[in-house]
A and B are shown apart, each in its own frame.
Chain A
Amino acid sequence: MGETPHRSADAGTGGTRVTESHERSAGASARLVEAPVSTRTPGGTGLGGGGALPRARAFGAERGFRGLTLAAGTVVLVIIAAIAVFLVAKAVPAIRADTENFWTFEGWFPNDSEPKFGIGALAFGTVLTAALALLVAVPVALGIALYLSHYAPRRVGTTLGFLIDLLAAVPSVVFGLWGREIFLRPVQDFSVWLNKYFSWIPIFGGEGPFGKSILLGSLVLAIMVLPIITSLSREVFLQTPTANEEAALALGATRWEMLRTAVLPYGRPGIIAAVMLGLGRALGETIALAMTLGITFNISFNLIQNGGNSIAANIANTFGEANETGRGALIASGLVLFAITLIVNITARVIIYRRREFTESAA
């Protein structure tokens, strides 16, 4: 009965209502008013109790907790709303002051007396680097994840999986440094080679110099998002019910066919979530891109020439010397980045939602 004092204290708070309702009811419940909750503890009439059913308590841990979570949720919403209002209030005057078209102008001079800046090239660079990074990372990540979950001996799979999780914890500035100091060389050589033999394809054209390019930035990004995507998809693949894998094998599937019939479809929502998480990281990546892109302000599909930029990298690079309008302009660019991520996430949700009939029954 150790808990009783605490519990009856609780009950006391809500006591008035309990008593009121009980006064009108039969004798059996009178006992309940005296010890409203003792039936919950072994010392009472017993757990499965012979007595009447105990009343629900008006105030208890349950209600308190509900209030607490509601309050926490409200606070978060209020804070988010406040941030949004603040950002928009900063961004709007800057965009008003822009003497060029904010959407299409290719350049970023918000600190001039006649501010000129446009988001087009930055948004383009952001989306292009992220898309290229995923294009490279997703197939590799899924391949590694499938290998780890279904081909590698269990011990190898666990060890490698752990190493990959470690890789996910490397800070992006380290990737940035590595990218510009070490990885730059081979990418440069590769770019020159591409340019020599494939310059007839516009994305590999140009006169150089090559190196700090969209290609370098995207490859570094790809390596950065690889561990997240691999690690999450591996988890998802491991969760495929054995019964479904065996069903496929028993129908005469080879191992690869089994993966295609049972594992990949089952993991689809999880794969999409993993890719979206990787994409989120790629879109928002700041420092690694600030260190590996060529930082130019033009819209170009050329992947290997020095150049490229992204919204987040531009914020990191120019925030230091920005004046009032400059900061407003950067905030505006941040809002655009937010809009891009939002659209991407909503798209992913729509894709998952469309197939919910199948994925819910899968759970």
Chain B
Amino acid sequence: MAKRIEASNVTAYYGAFKAIENINITVEPKTVTALIGPSGCGKSTFLRSINRMHEVLPGARVEGSLTIDDQDIYDRDVDVTAVRRMIGMVFQRPNPFPTMSIYENVVAGLRLNGVRKKSILDEAAENSLRSANLWDEVKDRLGKPGAGLSGGQQQRLCIARTIAVEPQVVLMDEPCSALDPISTLAIEDLMFQLKDKFTIIIVTHNMQQAARVSDRTAFFSIEKTGDPGRLIEYDNTQKIFSNPSQKKTEDYITGRFG
């Protein structure tokens, strides 16, 4: 239920603009990896190239190789929808389907996979909502619109929706940046539990959050605007935050804390 991701020389473009260059990272199963770095350094771009969401934008493309348990996800013969099912994604702003109920939102992915049987859907909905620590709050109003929940609940609903299809990897792009501190803590707690089952990669602006939740941290940066983002340092979170080997990393981390 969790797989290893290996990125080698990943370079991504928006049209002619090179957003990230030669990213090399290996992410071990059942760990939480945090991507940190200043705005615009390509964290989201890299994250979206892991589940092939980058190429959804017109003119956007990815070079290099990305494997998940040694299977190249950019291989010509690979079905892109299968990749996205295997690698789930939680977005920066909670984005439940506004026309669907809480229940329908959670089982949306299963329905897309052709699951029709009510008993299976019910069970998956309950399990996912429980895993997302949302079940107790919504169990009495599963038929109500998902968009009627609070921001933090909506984000947990989106997490439930993502894990309902039982992916191997869960990508999260600043999942707490639109949330209040209490909801943020709820989601951080959730990440600890989820890493028993999933490989998690999270982009965060919040250094304390990276330090709290992640096992490994990757620091991205850019020289100046217009340059592609690069991976500066990738190491155990403890090491990055206590004794980074790169000057840039240290500047960034101390600058933020100082």
Name A residues whose Cβ lies closer than 8 Å to a Cβ of B: 154, 241, 243-244, 246-254, 257, 261-262, 265-266, 268, 355, 357-359, 361-362
Contacts and interface: CB of A to CB of B under 8 A. Distances in A.
Contacts of A265: 97, 99-100
Nearest to A240: B98
Contacts of B56: 246, 249
The 6 closest A-B pairs by CB, nearest first: A252-B85, A362-B98, A361-B147, A265-B99, A243-B95, A251-B109
B243 interface: no
Contacts of A253: 81, 112
A257 B81 CA distance: 11
B112 A244 contact: no
Interface in B77-95: 81-85, 88-89, 91, 93, 95
A261 B144 contact: no
Contacts of B148: 357, 361
Contacts of B91: 243, 246-247, 250
Contacts of B145: 357-358, 361
A257 B110 CA distance: 12
Nearest to B99: A265
B58 A154 contact: yes
Contacts of A261: 97, 108, 112
Specify the main secondary structure of chain A where it touches its partner: helix
B81 A357 contact: no
B84 A250 contact: yes
Contact of B158 (A247, A248, A268, A361): A247
Nearest to B82: A252
Contacts of A247: 91, 95-97, 158, 161
Contacts of A357: 144-145, 148
Contact of B147 (A246, A248, A362): A362
Contacts of B99: 265-266, 268, 355, 358-359, 362
Interface string B100-128: 11000000110011000000000000000
B95 A244 contact: yes
Contacts of B93: 243
Interface string B131-155: 0000000000000110110000000
A48 to B, nearest CB: 29
B51 interface: yes
22 contacts: A241-B95, A243-B91, A244-B97, A246-B56, A247-B91, A247-B95, A247-B96, A247-B97, A247-B161, A248-B108, A251-B88, A251-B108, A251-B112, A252-B82, A253-B81, A253-B112, A262-B97, A266-B99, A357-B144, A358-B147, A361-B147, A362-B98
A217 to B, nearest CB: 36
A72 to B, nearest CB: 35
Contacts of A361: 98, 145, 147-148
Nearest to A264: B99
Nearest to B53: A250
A249 B57 CA distance: 12
B36 interface: no
A62 to B, nearest CB: 34
Contacts, number: 84
A251 B56 CA distance: 13
A248 B161 CA distance: 10
A251 B161 contact: yes
Nearest to B90: A250
Nearest to B101: A358
Interface in B52-78: 53, 56, 58
A251 B80 CA distance: 11
Given A261-B108, A265-B97, A359-B99, A251 B165 contact: yes
A249 B87 CA distance: 11
Contacts of A254: 81
A355 B101 CA distance: 11
A257 B95 contact: no
A359 B145 CA distance: 9
Q: Which of A246, A248, A251, A253 has the most B CB atoms < 10 Å from its CB? A: A251
A246 B53 contact: yes
A266 B99 CA distance: 6
A249 B53 contact: yes
Contacts of B144: 357
B181 to A, nearest CB: 23
A252 B165 contact: yes
A257 B84 contact: no
Most buried by B among A241, A250, A254, A262: A250
B97 to A, nearest CB: 6
Nearest to A261: B108
Contact of A250 (B89, B100, B113, B147): B89
Contacts of A248: 97, 108, 112
Given A265-B99, A357-B144, A362-B98, A252 B112 contact: yes
A252 B97 contact: no
A63 B97 CA distance: 42
Contact of A246 (B95, B100, B162): B95
B166 to A, nearest CB: 12
B81 A252 contact: yes
Nearest to A254: B81
A332 B5 CA distance: 75
Contacts of B96: 247
B158 to A, nearest CB: 7
B51 A250 contact: yes
B159 to A, nearest CB: 12
A362 B105 CA distance: 14
A361 B94 CA distance: 13
